Amino acid sequence: MSFFRLSLDAAVPEVCRGGVVSLGNFDGVHLGHQTLLAEAVLLARRRDGPAVAVAFDPHPQQLLRPQTFQPILTTMAYRAELLQAYGVDHVLVFQITPEFLKLSAREFFDRVLCEKLSARGIVEGFNFGFGHGREGNTALLQAWGKQANIEVVLVPAFEFAGKPVSTSRVRAELEAGRVTGATCLLARPYRLTGTVGPGQKRGQTLGFPTANLHELETLIPANGVYAARAHVLRGADNANPSPQGRRENWPAAVNIGPNPTFGENARKVEVHLIGFQGDLYGRELSVDLLERIRDVRAFSGPAALVEQLKEDVQRTKEISELCHFPGGAIAPS
């Protein structure tokens, strides 16, 4: 398995050529995306070639309509990890530029799919669009594929609870704080990843130290207190946070929002790793959100807050024990 980032003019690695490709933004890698990936892998095995997921970074909408662009659900690094976890052999990410976005549908088909990728098969959703202004549609893709002797497979919408699964549907669940609903659409808990930075250290004085997450690139769900599982790499240190080490999973209570008890209005993401001891400052920390426990609210004082935090921790432990996912957390890995 491999992960490549390329410009439009760069040569595609040979291991990614001559196989079956599925193209898209794949943000969230939800059940609909997973269905596409499974079909691509099946066709690739029949064609005796690699299954290649082709993604784009940044999202085209960030260049075309930055004022309306919504936060992403997965960082590109995590997205690539998930794409490979769901079976593809290689992940190829094209750097999106104004030049790339000007390619007509025909130019995109000829230059990217035929010349660069030498695709022998293409697997896409029923509403796939490509080329400048998404002028290319599935009918054109099938017609041009037939002319070029490329097998084109179109996959219908994957439905859950009677509605199609989509990135926007996952986003709506998260914005409402319904992380269990998002889990159903993703087939895994929603993950937040950030760098642990300084905070007020008030949690430590209350007996519930927290790691404050900074530099989050993805959508932050609605305010609330969430039961979660946090992922820590043991063997790392602050100077070199990403060497090979032992990955540990800890139950964690996550507070998203302000701290009204102490008159703080800033929206923060604070993670209390239950039972963890160690220094996390400067390290990357990921949390998988399992269930929303309660609203954020003001308490009469520190003593009342501590009593509530004790209940939050106990509830988090119970939920964490009931939730088991492959690889400790996420998708198969």
pLDDT for the residue 166: 96
**324 — pLDDT class (breaks 50, 70, 90):** low
Give mean pLDDT, residues 313-325: 87
Say if residue 121's pLDDT is above 80. yes
Pairing of strands 264-273, 90-95: unpaired
pLDDT for the residue 100: 94
Say if residue 325's pLDDT is above 80. no
Rounded alpha-carbon distances, angstroms, from residue 129 to 53, 118, 151: 16, 20, 17
pLDDT for the residue 1: 66
Say if residue 328's pLDDT is above 50. no
CA dihedral 301, 306, 311, 315 (to 10 degrees): 120
Say if residue 333's pLDDT is above 90. no
pLDDT for the residue 83: 97
Domain 189-328: assigned CATH number: 2.40.30.30
- Residues of the chain with pLDDT > 90: what percent? 76
Residue whose entry in the numeric block shows the structure tokens 């064609």: 47
Say if residue 200's pLDDT is above 60. yes
Rounded alpha-carbon distances, angstroms, from residue 77 to 61, 81, 171, 283: 19, 6, 19, 16
Greater model confidence, 3 or 324: 3
pLDDT for the residue 264: 75
**207 — pLDDT class (breaks 50, 70, 90):** confident
- Which residues have a Cβ under 8 Å from the Cβ of 67 and sit 6 or more positions away? none
What is the residue extent of each domain of the chain?
A: 2-160, 189-328
CA distance 206 to 309: 9
pLDDT tens digits, 19-66: 999 999 999 999 999 999 999 999 999 999 999 999 999 988 888 888
Say if residue 92's pLDDT is above 90. yes
Say if residue 120's pLDDT is above 70. yes
Nearest to 255 by CA among 215, 289, 205: 289
Say if residue 327's pLDDT is above 50. no
pLDDT tens digits, 213-253: 999 999 999 999 999 999 987 665 544 444 455 778 999 99
**329 — pLDDT class (breaks 50, 70, 90):** very low
| DSSP bridge pairs for 151 | 121
Predicted TM-score of the model (pTM): 0.90
Greater model confidence, 67 or 268: 268
**330 — pLDDT class (breaks 50, 70, 90):** very low
Q: Which range among 157-171, 193-207, 228-242 shows the weakest confidence by mean pLDDT?
A: 228-242
pLDDT for the residue 63: 85
- Average pLDDT value over all residues in the chain: 90
Spatial contact of 93 and 76, defined as CB atoms under 8 Å apart: yes
DSSP 195-251: EEE----HHHHHT---EEEE---B----SEEEEEEEEEEET--SSS--SS-EEEEEE
Question: What is the torsional sign of CA 129, 131, 135, 137?
Answer: negative
**322 — pLDDT class (breaks 50, 70, 90):** confident
Using alpha carbons only, give the angle 104, 73, 95 rounded to the nearest 5 degrees.
Answer: 35
Q: Could you confirm whether domain 2-160 is CATH 3.40.50.620?
A: yes
CA dihedral 269, 252, 303, 293 (to 10 degrees): 80
What is the number of other CB atoms lying within 10 angstroms of the CB of residue 242? 9
